[in-house]
């Protein structure tokens, strides 16, 4: 199991999803390899095929979080104002 094309697609998907234990189990089911050999094959594939860094998912545009923060800031400012007057 030295080439990438020898790994089944579901094993590759598990590796890309960072589920290495699942990938090892699936590889053992497909190939009949021992635990050590399957582990080495999965780790070698992951090492040779690093995942690109993906952008974070965009945040919600509803603005609810901003409204909560503004409300807290206003409440604190009012409390400080009342304390000093």
- How confident is the model over 28-48, as pLDDT tens digits? 999 999 999 999 999 999 999
Distances (CA, A) of 22 to 18, 28, 30, 35, 43: 9, 10, 12, 12, 12
Q: Would 63 be classed as within a structural domain?
A: no
Q: Would 29 be classed as within a structural domain?
A: yes
Contacts of 48 (CB under 8 A, 6+ apart): 4
Q: Would 67 be classed as within a structural domain?
A: no
State which residues form the domain around 37: 1-51
The proportion of the chain whose per-residue pLDDT surpasses 90, expressed as a percent, equals 64
Q: What is the pLDDT of residue 64?
A: 76
Q: What is the pLDDT of residue 73?
A: 94
Q: Would 57 be classed as within a structural domain?
A: no
Q: Would 6 be classed as within a structural domain?
A: yes
Q: Would 72 be classed as within a structural domain?
A: no
| Domain count for the chain | 1
Ranges under pLDDT 50 in the chain? 2-4
Contacts of 24 (CB under 8 A, 6+ apart): 35, 38, 39, 42
């Amino acid at each position: 199991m030295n080439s990438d094309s020898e790994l089944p697609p579901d094993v590759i998907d598990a590796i890309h999803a960072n589920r290495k234990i699942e990938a090892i189990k699936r590889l053992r089911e497909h190939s009949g390899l021992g635990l050590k050999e399957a582990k080495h094959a999965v780790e070698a594939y992951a090492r040779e095929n690093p995942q690109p860094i993906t952008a974070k998912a965009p945040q919600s545009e509803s603005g609810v979080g901003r409204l909560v923060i503004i409300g807290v800031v206003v409440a604190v400012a009012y409390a400080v104002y009342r304390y000093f007057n």
